[in-house]
Amino acid sequence: MVLTLPQFRNNFGALCLSQNVANIFVLILFACWCAPVQFFFSGDLAAGFFGKLMGQLNQIFWHSLLYSHVVMSLNRFSAIVFPGWSNRLHARGSTYLLIGTSWAIAAVSNIPYFFRDSCYMIYVPQKYAWQFSDNFCGHVIGIYMDCYAAMLVVIVLILLDIYTILHLKRLHKGVIKSTSSAELRRRRGLEIRFFMQVGV
């Protein structure tokens, strides 16, 4: 859908496509691995080489999804707070660089999973959940590289979005004095739609 709509044939569409690709692969892993393991196979298969590989893939796509939210929030922040620099910041090459960086960070953060004997994440059917290896490496990647990294991303998103909202409110006050009410409603609707696009 992103590729067919003319409204998405821009940098924001490229960001949406990147996020959707990560989303789709996370869902495919849940549908094609977690569900069959849950209903048909034992936990032994899930704990084997293939199960660890599925955990690694899940983490790559999950982290790329997480970091793509940051990229989209930065895109929105820069377009609203720095509109003069927006054309340079949102050039096609810059957008692809940001998308590539988010995927590269996700891939680099998954390097420990290549040591599958000690560092892994598997789906545990008895718990209906993914679980990190029960050792020092699993503790480190589970707490620091997964939990704390996700918390940091959420904090960054909240701060960027709060600043963006406050900036929009400040801009809105200045526009009220010089704009008709119909034009003001139209602009406000566009701003709200732009701000809410990331949640879709």
- Confirm whether pTM is higher than 0.85: no
183 domain-assigned: yes
pLDDT digit string, tens, across residues 59-113: 999 999 999 999 888 888 888 888 777 667 667 778 888 899 999 999 998 888 8
For residue 182, give its domain range: 6-199
89 in helix, strand or coil?
A: helix
Domain membership of residue 1 (yes or no) is no
**In CATH, what number is assigned to the domain containing residue 173?**
1.20.1070.10
pLDDT digits (tens, 9 = 90+) for 13-62: 888 889 999 999 999 999 999 888 888 876 677 788 888 899 999 999 99
How many domains would you assign to the chain?
A: 1
C-beta separation of 12 from 197 below 8 A: yes
Question: Is 187 within a domain?
Answer: yes
